[in-house]
Amino acid sequence: MSEPKPTFLHDYRPPAYRVTHTELSFDLEPGATRVKASLHLERHPQREAGSPLMLDGEQLELKSIAIDGQPLDDDEYSLSETGLTVHRVPERFRLDTEVEIAPEENTALEGLYLSNGMYCTQCEAEGFRRITFYPDRPDVMATFSTTVIGDQARLPVLLSNGNPVERGELPNGKHFVTWEDPHPKPCYLFALVGGDLKKVEDRFTTMSGREVALQIWVEEENLGKTGHAMASLKRAMKWDEETYGREYDLDLFMIVAVNDFNMGAMENKGLNIFNSAAVLTHPKTATDVAFQRVESIVAHEYFHNWSGNRVTCRDWFQLSLKEGFTVFRDQCFSADANSAPVKRIEDASFFRTAQFAEDAGPTAHPVRPDHYIEIGNFYTLTIYEKGAEVVRMLCNLVGWETFRRGSDLYFERFDGQAVTIEDFVSCMAEVSGLDLSQFMRWYSQAGTPEIDAYGEYDYANAEYHLTLRQRTPVTPGQADKQPLHIPVRMGLVGTKSGRDLSLNLEGEDLGTAAVIHLREAEQSFVFTDVSEAPVPSLLRGFSAPVQLRFPYSREDLAFLLANDSDGFNRWDAGQRLAMLALDDLIAAHRNGVEKVMDPRIVEAFRALLERGSDDKAVLAEMLTLPSEAYIAEQQPLVDVDAIHAARTFVKQSLAVTLRDEFMALFEANRSDEPYAPEPEQIGARSLKNVALSYLMAIEDEQGIELTQAQFDADHNMTDVRHALTLLTHSSRDELADPALRAFGEKWAHDPLVMDQWFSLQVTRPQADALDRVKFLMAHPAFSMKNPNNIRALIGAFANQNRVNFHRADGESYRLLADVVIELNRLNPEVAARLITPLTRWQRFDEARQGLMKGELERIRAERLSPNVYEVVEKALA
Ligand code: B3K
Ligand code: ZN
């Protein structure tokens, strides 16, 4: 097999021909669907006359081809594995093709496929080329008219983008519906659905008074699980009008839920297709986290209608143009709808764990990559989350009002166009008058910048001297790093008053909280008139996606934990404090020394519990210890057993000493109120469940009783799942087994609940976790063809069960490699993603390194998809 070739950003050229209008017709049959396409083409004015017409196409069986009604002779075109070339074409013409495809054989879930007997599509990034011959690139934007033909009994519902304009009956029990989408779009936004679906319907009146019909299409048994998604959609539509002045632009907006889906959801114009896990909720089947995830994904896909669809990407290197901006938009929406500080803590904490790890590993890439082999591998935390952080920094740099004017300018100037990241940033530069040229490095430079900060208080002169030094580590293919423009939001908290002191920098009064701009490799800031010795509070609200080090003492951190006016940094001070204790305990464990709990940590936690908080969700976050994954990220060499032992020790020590406080917290936040996914209730539930985790940490009678009772009460899935997880992760199999059995039997009919059942079992720390994975892979509710199952069982085990995944005998690595090898054939996109934990081998001891690399080599010896090939090559480079 020939090596897959990379595509480079610097090779971009406009397409030789563009499509102005696309007419499609589908005759849906599982093994042989006929697709007719009529493309109205014209030469691109910037491209030379006489170029051949090259269309992308994969796994298509060409049945006929004609230009302007004239069938082509065999020598007038040529076919390859990747497409079709017509050697000579006029300046403007119509191309008619007919192809045959086999949706039932499509296990990659890209293009047109079947999920539970229902036809659906996923075209982003390059799935449309598996449907018909086409210039499958985002800078070709056309209007679409689509006729879908299907069996009337089996496929009563036939959907596509835009508005339905015609429907009718056909011979042989078939019927058809024709859809027209008046908005020019790239083919990656094309969608089609055919199935036996039911809908819930609602309406939304836009700010200009237009009525929009909102529909959510699901399998009949799920009709009762759509309410939250619908409510979220309406809130998102309103929010985008109020916050960004963006109105919806069709008369119909549809969401369809499908069970087999590679990602969360897809923003197809007017016809969003969702992984059922990202749309269906019910208090009995979905946790608070799932409710919030549905809210944010529904909003995210809706927001793409402007940031992505109306204004799209010129090429896939610009992916973060739509994803980074849209994630930023959905984060702000969720912050407005829930607890804003908690949203920031959750996002930043996830970011510092998972994106930092990506940035430090062999697949690190810039927010705008300059080459790729398989674009499907670039739907990453860097493109999405770091992209969103970069947009957030822009917003903070220019201020919200100006950012909004920049966004208006961007949408107006580029409406209906396919553009670049420069186009977006230049709008922000234009409205603000700021020079953002150094800032652009955030898009081209990979790796997490590290800031080393030092501060000194000069009593005699009442000055505080702060020095910041930045450096971005080397990443694959990028040895040379330039200093970035980094906004550092900060305050100086007076150690006497506990208040933010006023900041006077170079004669300028900045108030009590300010953003300082780090542009040089090293820069010093002298604050004058500092009336008392301060502790600096740096990078408030995680103002830049960097790793910040400051030599805080434990006393400093306990002080910030109690006094910082910035909620995010109060939380962060607690995390840093816990990390210092954890570091000592990890060392003690490794050296075989007795572990001793630092009383200062216990006292800081006690103070936290005594003070309480108005925002219960924030307090719950503060009482949560850094995750094993985050702790690992902070260690030079990852010792999973020491990390697990240290964290368990801290948890148990706190549980013993602060038992009464946790008990009181648990009692105070119990409730029999009917479940609602409202911020107040969610906050109280998280606090109660954090308390329960501590009460159960030492597995005494009382803890067990409370946990068992919460499980039996069966009030809502958040509480039931939490209790079941505590039982399953305890050493008390005699309690866990009957509960797991009861739960598994009760929910055997509900795939989304079974996925939760898989995850909570395979993440247990007990040594039998790997055996459970193997056993559950044979469970009737598990299928290798269902990405949710893979993520719930294999993904959860490999990413969340660190002690068992990194077993010293390498058996878990072997299992993961076996799964990757099988999935490489079935679903390359999911397979490539699953390899991630093996690619992080550099962080482990030599024996584990050898075992992990051995499995990567074993994968490499297979006949690989470009997706898996690219990841494995990088991991072994
Ligand atoms: N744009 C889609 C991503 C689909 C990519 C699949 N290869 C989901 C989203 O970001 O909204
Ligand atoms: Zn998106």
Q: Which residues contact 691 (CB under 8 A, 6 or more apart)?
A: 623, 662, 663, 665, 666, 669
Domain contains 250: no
Instruction: Give 248-290 pLDDT, tens digit per residue.
Output: 999 999 999 999 999 999 999 999 999 999 999 999 999 999 9
Cα separations in angstroms, 466 against 458, 538, 618: 11, 10, 29
CA distances from 260 to 113, 130, 805, 819 (A): 9, 18, 26, 18
369 and 461 assigned to the same domain = no
Q: How many CA atoms within 13 Å lie on the side-chain side of 216? A: 25
Q: Name every protein residue with a CB atom under 6 angstroms from any ligand 1 atom.
A: 124-125, 262-263, 265-267, 300-301, 304, 323, 376, 379, 829
Ligand with the closest atom to the CA of 322: 2
387 and 485 belong to one structural domain: no
CA distances from 655 to 283, 320, 401, 696, 703 (A): 30, 44, 47, 8, 10
Nearest protein CA to atom 3 of ligand 1, as residue: 266
Q: Are 787 and 827 in contact (CB under 8 A)?
A: yes
- pLDDT (mean) for 802-810: 98
DSSP class of 68:
T
Kindly give the number of the ligand 1 atom that is closest to the alpha carbon of 301. Answer: 11
Ligand with smallest separation from the Cα of 325? 2
Q: How confident is the model at residue 600 (pLDDT cuts 50, 70, 90)?
A: very high
Cβ contact 482:441 at 8 Å: yes
Give the residue, by CA position, lying nearest to ligand 1 atom 10. 323
Rounded alpha-carbon distances, angstroms, from residue 473 to 43, 288, 360, 369, 574: 46, 38, 8, 17, 27
Q: Among 163, 138, 162, 132, which residue's Cα sits nearest to residue 63?
A: 132
Mapped onto helix, strand or coil, the DSSP state of residue 810 is coil
Burial of residue 205 (CB within 10 Å: 0-12, 13-18, 19+) is exposed
Domain boundary among 397, 412, 444: 444
Compute the distance from residue 198 Cα to the ligand 2 centre, in Å: 26
Classify 206 as helix, strand or coil: coil
**183 shares a domain with 106:** yes
| 101 part of a folded domain | yes
Domain boundary among 544, 566, 591: 544
446, burial (CB in 10 Å: exposed 0-12, middle 13-18, buried 19+): buried
Strands (E), 46-109: 53-56, 61-67, 70-71, 77-79, 83-86, 92-101
Question: In this structure, what CATH number is given to the domain that contains residue 855?
Answer: 1.25.50.10
- Closest CA relative to residue 549, chosen from 634, 639, 446: 634
- Sheet with 83-86, side-by-side order of all strands: 53-56, 83-86, 77-79
Ramachandran region, residue 245 (left: φ > 0; alpha: ψ -120 to 50; beta: rest): left
Asked if residue 283 belongs to a domain, the reply is no
Q: What is the pLDDT of residue 206?
A: 98
- The parent domain of residue 805 ranges over 747-877
| CA-nearest residue, atom 5 of ligand 1 | 124
- For atom 6 of ligand 1, the residue with the nearest CA is 124
Q: Are residues 7 and 113 in the same domain?
A: yes
Mark whether 396 and 454 lie in a shared domain: no
Q: Ligand 2 centroid vs 304 CA: distance in angstroms?
A: 7
**Beta carbons of 324 and 802 less than 8 angstroms apart:** no
Query: Does 1 have pLDDT greater than 60?
Result: no
CATH number at residue 81: 2.60.40.1730
Measured in angstroms, how far is the CA atom of residue 666 from the centroid of ligand 2? 38
Please give the number of the atom of ligand 1 that sits closest to the Cα of 127: 7
Instruction: For residue 19, report the distance from its CA to the centre of ligand 2, in Å.
Output: 25
**Which ligand 1 atom is nearest residue 308's CA?**
1
- Residue 840 Cα to ligand 2 midpoint, Å, equals 26
Are 71 and 139 in the same domain?
yes
Q: Is the pLDDT of residue 812 over 60?
A: yes
Three-state SS for 372-406 is ECCHHHHCCHHHHHHHHHHHHHHHHHHCHHHHHHH
Q: Which atom of ligand 1 lies at the shortest distance from residue 267's CA?
A: 11
Q: What is the pLDDT of residues 386-435, one digit of tens each?
A: 999 999 999 999 999 999 999 999 999 999 999 999 999 999 999 999 99
Ligand 1 atom closest to the CA of 264, numbered from 1: 8
Domain CATH number, residue 514: 2.60.40.1840
Expressed in angstroms and rounded, the spacing between residue 110 Cα and the centre of ligand 1 is 12
For residues 555-573, give the mean pLDDT.
Answer: 97
- Here the contacts of 234-240 (C-beta below 8 Å, separation 24 or greater) are 234/202, 234/204, 235/295, 235/299, 235/333, 235/337, 236/298, 236/299, 236/302, 236/303, 236/333, 237/204, 237/206, 237/212, 237/302, 238/204, 239/299, 239/333, 239/336, 239/337, 240/302, 240/303, 240/306, 240/329
Backbone angles phi and psi of 383, in degrees to 5 = -65, -45
- For residue 2, name the pLDDT band (cuts at 50, 70, 90): low
For 139-153, the pLDDT digits (tens) are 999 999 999 999 999
Helix (H) or strand (E) holding 303: helix 288-303
Domain C-terminal end among 511, 528, 544:
544
One-letter identity of residue 811 = E
Number of neighbours of residue 877 by Cβ within 10 angstroms: 8
**Are 33 and 165 found together in one domain?**
yes
Residue 3's pLDDT band, with cuts at 50, 70 and 90, is: confident
- Give the residue, by CA position, lying nearest to ligand 1 atom 4: 124
Q: Which is catalytic among the residues 126, 219, 301, 374? A: 301
Gap between the Cα atoms of 801 and 602, Å rounded? 27
Residues 436 and 485 in one domain: no
Distance separating alpha carbons of residues 268 and 666, to the nearest angstrom: 44
Same domain, 183 and 149: yes
467 falls within a domain? yes
Residue 221 within a domain: no
pLDDT tens per residue, range 18-30: 999 999 999 999 9
* Domain count for the chain: 4
Element (H, E) at 661: helix 659-668
Whether residue 83 is contained in a domain is answered as yes
Is residue 537 helix, strand or coil?
Answer: strand
Mark whether 472 and 437 lie in a shared domain: no
CB distance 698 to 650 below 8 Å: no
The yes-or-no answer on residue 301 being catalytic is yes
Question: How would you label 556-584 residue by residue, b for 16+ Cβ within 10 Å and e otherwise?
Answer: bbbbbbbbbebbbbbbbbbbbbbbbbbeb
In a domain, 327, yes or no: yes
Distance 114 CA to ligand 1 centre (A): 19
| Nearest alpha-carbon partner for 198 in 221, 227, 225 | 221
pLDDT band at 81 (very low <50, low <70, confident <90, very high): very high
Q: Are residues 495 and 514 in the same domain?
A: yes
CATH at 320: 1.10.390.10
Of 122, 124, 296, the one to substitute when testing ligand 1's pocket (max ligand atoms within 8 A of C-beta) is 124
Helix (H, G, I), strand (E, B), or coil: what is residue 503?
coil
Q: How far apart are CA 179 and CA 170, in angstroms?
A: 17
Same domain, 407 and 438: yes
> Of all atoms in ligand 1, which is nearest to the CA of residue 829?
7
Q: Are 337 and 295 in contact (CB under 8 A)?
A: yes
Give the DSSP letter string of 14-41.
--SEEEEEEEEEEE--SS-EEEEEEEEE
Residue nearest to atom 1 of ligand 1 (CA): 266
Q: In the prediction, which pLDDT does 678 show?
A: 97
Query: Looking at residue 468, what is its pLDDT?
Result: 98
Helix/strand number for the chain, H first, E second:
31, 33
Whose CA is closest to atom 8 on ligand 1?
266
Nearest ligand (C-alpha, residue 108): 1
Q: Which of 379, 381, 867 to mutate to test the pocket of ligand 1 (most atoms within 8 A of CB)?
A: 379
Reading the block at residue 837, the tokens are: 């934990």
Mean pLDDT across 458-466: 98
Q: Name the packing angle between helices 701-713 and 679-697 (round to 10°).
A: 140
Whether 74 has a pLDDT exceeding 80, the answer reads: yes
Q: Is residue 300 part of a domain?
A: no
